[in-house]
């Protein structure tokens, strides 16, 4: 019955148009260019990390500036890179800056170190970021310490390359230490815990 049905279908098609019974299959070679996949918005890298561009956009929207341009290569040091910085680190820094702004309207955060080479504890995926020292930020951090509010801002550790601006703070607080890598440029080094 199947053969009769197939032959019947062939005969009907042949009567309508003999070209319908010809089977002509050809394959055309198609060159496919490999394109690197970018997530929607291009903002998130693996494990919740941000690109430098998106991290800078988020900081700029919150009124936080970055002292230098992004690095031209992973080994460059005369630059400030935020490539691969955890998104939560940027969120925590923005929350800390907003609290500082409420403490004193003239509070200003300037990022001086991110994921660029030349740091022992920084790097892609690490929750470390450096902020320029100034009198208002120092006063705010003294107030945070006095009120024991480090946990409110998810600060796991804060240290400074110089004790000049924090000389009235004893360094026995579990969240506050002197930095192990002194720099010629005074700055606060933050490590966020979450």
Q: What is the pLDDT of residues 33-86, one digit of tens each?
A: 444 434 444 455 667 889 999 999 999 999 999 999 998 887 888 899 999 999
Query: Angle formed by the axes of helices 87-103 and 52-61, to 10°?
Result: 20
| Rounded Cα gap, residues 135 and 102, in angstroms | 15
What is the CA angle 89-140-171, rounded to 5?
A: 85
**The two three-digit tokens of residue 82, written as one number:** 């935020």
Are 178 and 160 in contact, with CB atoms under 8 Å apart?
yes
Beta-bridge partners for 129? 190
**Quick one: 111 exposed, middle or buried, by C-beta within 10 A (0-12, 13-18, 19+)?**
buried
**Domain boundary assignment for the chain:** 45-192
| Rounded Cα gap, residues 93 and 111, in angstroms | 10
| Helix (H) and strand (E) counts in the chain | 4, 6
pTM of the model: 0.69
| Rounded Cα gap, residues 65 and 56, in angstroms | 8
Q: What is the pLDDT of residues 118-177, one digit of tens each?
A: 777 787 888 889 998 888 988 898 888 888 888 888 887 777 765 554 443 333 344 455
């Amino acid at each position: 019955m199947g053969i009769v049905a197939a032959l019947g279908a062939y005969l009907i098609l042949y009567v309508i148009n003999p070209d319908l019974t010809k089977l002509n299959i050809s394959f055309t070679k198609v060159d496919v260019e490999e394109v690197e996949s970018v997530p929607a918005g291009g903002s998130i890298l693996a494990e919740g990390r941000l690109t430098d561009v998106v991290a800078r956009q988020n900081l700029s929207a919150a009124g936080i500036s970055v002292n230098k341009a992004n690095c031209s290569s992973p080994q460059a040091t005369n630059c400030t890179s935020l490539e691969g910085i955890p998104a939560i680190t940027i969120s925590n820094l923005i929350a800390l800056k907003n609290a500082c702004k409420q403490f004193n309207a003239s509070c200003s955060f300037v990022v001086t170190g991110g994921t660029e080479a030349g740091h022992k504890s920084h790097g892609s995926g690490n929750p470390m970021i450096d902020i320029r020292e100034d009198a208002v930020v120092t006063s705010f951090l003294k107030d945070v310490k006095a009120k024991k509010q480090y946990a409110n801002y998810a600060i796991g550790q804060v240290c400074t390359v110089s004790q000049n601006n924090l000389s009235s703070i004893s360094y026995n607080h579990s969240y506050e230490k002197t930095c192990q890598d002194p720099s010629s440029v005074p700055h606060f080094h933050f490590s966020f815990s979450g």
